Structure 1
Amino acid sequence: MRTLCASTLIGEFFVIGFAGLVAMKSDGASMAVVWTVCGVAMLLSLLLCGMITRPGGIQLGWALQIALIASGFVVPTMFFLGALFAALWWASVFYGRRIDEAKAKWAAQASAGPDAA
């Protein structure tokens, strides 16, 4: 699960940075505000890569997904990209857990030896 989720978060890191560049052109927000918000979100996405398997890591990831969708109020394209990354996040968590369960099952079978079936 960690690899899939971290891959999604790294992709979000770049998308948040590019959205910051687009948001700079907006008349509604100052450059300092845009880069403070984007910087915090980018830092959070990097920190979450190492926190995936810790308690609350997945929930913080969901909070980031909600914030990414909400950023569509500043950069309208982010509604679509935020929803896309939320779907990727869900898939990473869902299928990552399935992969982890399968790996644990195979490891248990391998440690039991070839006679145990």
Structure 2
Amino acid sequence: MSDDVPSAEPRSLRRSFAAMVLVGEVFVVGFASLVAKDLSDVSGRTLGIVAGGTAVLCLLAAGLLRSRTGYLLGWAVQVLLVLSGFWVPMMFVVGLLFGGIWFAALHFGAQADAITAQRLAAARVDRDPATPTEGAP
């Protein structure tokens, strides 16, 4: 077996990028709750419950990214971040920014996974010359 071609399937870059965004949002939610404590009329207890719940949702979504559920929860987190702008207006900007980053992570991660799959398929064909190629008789 060749050393330059891994035998196992590579890790999904889409999943890795999405997980990085969600873990980053845990920090954003934490820092935003500190700002919201001083800028909004929401009680500290309510703010702690909402921020803690959102952070847990981010981590849960990151942990479930092996299934479609994780990605759906990730989209829910993006919506919640934008909606939090009703209590702290700057969160509209932060939520939209992270929504864009989330979309980019999914879009470009999927493209990177497709390129990786094509390269692995080409490497398998190169390794096994008995495998027929497209257009060959």
User: Could you tell me the TM-score, scaled by structure 2's length?
Assistant: 0.78
RMSD over aligned CA atoms reads: 1.5
Match of 1:60 in 2: 73
Contact 2:40 2:87 in 1 (8 A): no
Question: 1:72-91, aligned counterparts within 5 Å?
Answer: 72-91=85-104
Structure 1: tracts of 5 or more residues without a match: none
Question: 1:103-114, aligned counterparts within 5 Å?
Answer: 103-114=116-127
**Percentage identity across paired residues of the two chains:** 38
Match of 2:6 in 1: none
Gap change, CA 1:27 and 1:58, over 3 Å in 2: closer
Structure 2: tracts of 5 or more residues without a match: 1-13
Say which SS state the counterpart of residue 85 (structure 1) adopts: helix
Say which SS state the counterpart of residue 52 (structure 1) adopts: coil
Q: Please, which of 42, 55, 61 is the counterpart of residue 42 of structure 1? A: 55
1:113 Cα deviation after fit: 2.5
What is the number of equivalent residue pairs in this alignment?
Answer: 117
Match of 1:17 in 2: 30
Per residue, is there more helix in 1 or in 2? 1
**Higher Rg of the two aligned structures:** 2
